[in-house]
Structure 1
Amino acid sequence: MGTVTGFNPSAEHEKTRAALGAVVPRLVRLLRDVPNLDAASGVPVWTVGDVGSHLSAVYVGYSSASSADESMDWDSILPAGEGPFSERIAAMNATSIGLFGDNDRARLADLVAEWGEVFLRVTEHLAPDTPVTVPWFGQDITLATVTGLMLSESLVHGLDIARGAGLSWPISPREARLALGQTLPTTMPLALDSEKARGVSIAFDLAIKGGPRLAVVVDDGTVTVARDAPPRAYDCRITASPTAFLLVSFRRTPTWKAIARGQMRASGRRPWLAMRLGELIATP
């Protein structure tokens, strides 16, 4: 396993910003090279154009949420009601693909370029722990998490578009490490299926090659996720390559396939529990 370095929140946030800044023009080129927006994408039931519209909505949403100067009428966009986190995100995803009409779909690359620049500009001098109100999350999260979410959405949905368009879209281990490290400590507790986790007590040592390393402790319907936690006894250690774990987390690669390819392995006192992690953490 690669060397895990100490976690410096400010330095890692700047690296994540830089990675996002580099991926935005790649996305713009990808969207401009798409030959057919109506082609099937890497997301079931979504076309390539649907994925591009969703990604544009992600950029608009997070940029608006992160800026005091950008206003958004969330009541007219957000799904009504308060359900579990995974249901709210699924409903928001479904809403997002209808936010742009045909004229806007013809300029998705321009929208991504414009709002990617807005996000990086309005957040440039903000601290990574700056709270950001994200209405579809139902709570404030840090700017560092938002930046990581922007990066992870860009990487994974870029792949969805590329798969549908027959184009190349590499995701580097460095990009995936940054996306995972900035998002998982916040998103895993939110996405926990509390009913499935009721009565469950499992401590996972999640080691992403090269970092981050996360202590994921499920305890009777709750979960805590700590980065570079002090030593403790674990039931199961999961060691994974960063890109593979990112795609497994987004359900783009089946866990069994990552294991068969040698990209993930389980060890520890109860290695068979590794499969439970994906069952307990819900994904829209």
Structure 2
Amino acid sequence: MGAATGFDPVVEHERTRAALRAAVPRLAGLLRDVPDGGAPSGLPGWAVRDVEAHLCAVYLAYCSAFTGEFDGWDDVLPPGDGPFVERITAVNAKAVGIFAEEARARPGAAVAERGEGFLRITEGLAPDTPVPTPWYGGSVVLTLAAATGLMLSETLVHGLDVARGARLPWRIGPDEARLVIGQAFPTMMPLALDVEKARRARVAFDVAVKGGPRLAVVVEDGAATVTRDAPPRAYDCRITAAPTAFLLIGFRRVPLWRAVARGGIRAGGRRPWLATRLTDLIASP
């Protein structure tokens, strides 16, 4: 894998905050420009306003981790700690219903207010500040760095969903994608692992994102670890990826075959055919 390059977590966290600070008003403007909130979005079964309602819920949830302003979790969270996809799907469905009217009444406004609120509330906090996220599981606590990366991913990817439905332009730049991959993926990939599919798996992936970061993804015995800039070791499959392509594959917005055909993904190593296993093992709601 080569020598570890290392990165400064404080600097990268601030870069992620800056990217989020730029993306939030861009998203709010896109939502205001949508001519018909009832039009289908890029997500099957969701209208554009459903995507906006989901974003309102996401932004409020992360703000509330610090302010406690939302106390309705008993009405939103499913009982117990079920499989990741089932849990997030259930939370998303209920959240869309709760925030649908606000999304209809104030297109873009609530998203802008809450996105800016998150940045204001977390100003000056260390990247390793704990952030409770009960929607991922009752005991799941992320770092602020991972939470900020996820906020950026929600903003960018759902912006794409809105733009696809409204036939409006939306760009996810490679630097933005790199920040999401570096800050959020090492935390979220193990959480999103399909445990049943991974129970008998034993495979190690070297994921080299062009321009960084580099992730060692090791799946064995129903668990996954994702290490950034890991020491050298033997890998079964090496994946070289353009950052935006890898981000969109991870969120199931672009099929793997299309990214391969366009040169965004290339597999190598001892067992290159295992590249397709990665998207099969890591679930996405």
Task: Tell me, yes or no, whether TM beats 0.5.
Answer: yes
* TM-score, length basis structure 1: 0.96
CA distance in 1, matches of 2:132, 2:102: 30
Question: Which sits farther off after the overlay, 70-79 or 186-195?
Answer: 70-79
Q: Is the contact made by 2:20 and 2:151 (CA closer than 8 Å) also made in structure 1?
A: yes
Q: Is the contact made by 1:240 and 1:265 (CA closer than 8 Å) also made in structure 2?
A: yes
- In the alignment, what sits opposite 1:219? 220
CA distance in 2, matches of 1:247, 1:63: 25
Q: Is the contact made by 2:50 and 2:100 (CA closer than 8 Å) also made in structure 1?
A: no
- In the alignment, what sits opposite 1:242? 243
- In the alignment, what sits opposite 1:260? 261
% identical equivalent positions: 65
- In the alignment, what sits opposite 2:231? 230
- In the alignment, what sits opposite 1:43? 43
Residue 104 of structure 1, CA deviation: 4.2
Question: Which sits farther off after the overlay, 31-40 or 92-101?
Answer: 92-101
1:83 aligned onto 2:43: no
- In the alignment, what sits opposite 2:124? 125
- In the alignment, what sits opposite 2:57? 57
1:25 aligned onto 2:25: yes
* TM-score, length basis structure 2: 0.95
Structure 1 gaps, min length 5: none
CA distance in 1, matches of 2:273, 2:131: 38
- Name the amino acid aligned to 2:281: L
CA distance in 1, matches of 2:85, 2:182: 20
RMSD: 1.3
CA distance in 1, matches of 2:22, 2:146: 18
Structure 2 gaps, min length 5: none
Secondary structure, counterpart of 2:10 in structure 1: helix
Residue 105 of structure 1, CA deviation: 1.7
CA distance in 1, matches of 2:100, 2:129: 34
- Provide runs of 4+ in structure 1 moved above 4 Å: none
- In the alignment, what sits opposite 1:208? 209
CA distance in 2, matches of 1:103, 1:120: 21
Residue 153 of structure 1, CA deviation: 0.6
- In the alignment, what sits opposite 1:99? 98
Note the alpha carbon deviations across 1:144-203, whole angstroms, 9 max, x for none: 010000000100000000011110000000000001111111111111111111121111
> What count of residue pairs does the alignment treat as equivalent?
280
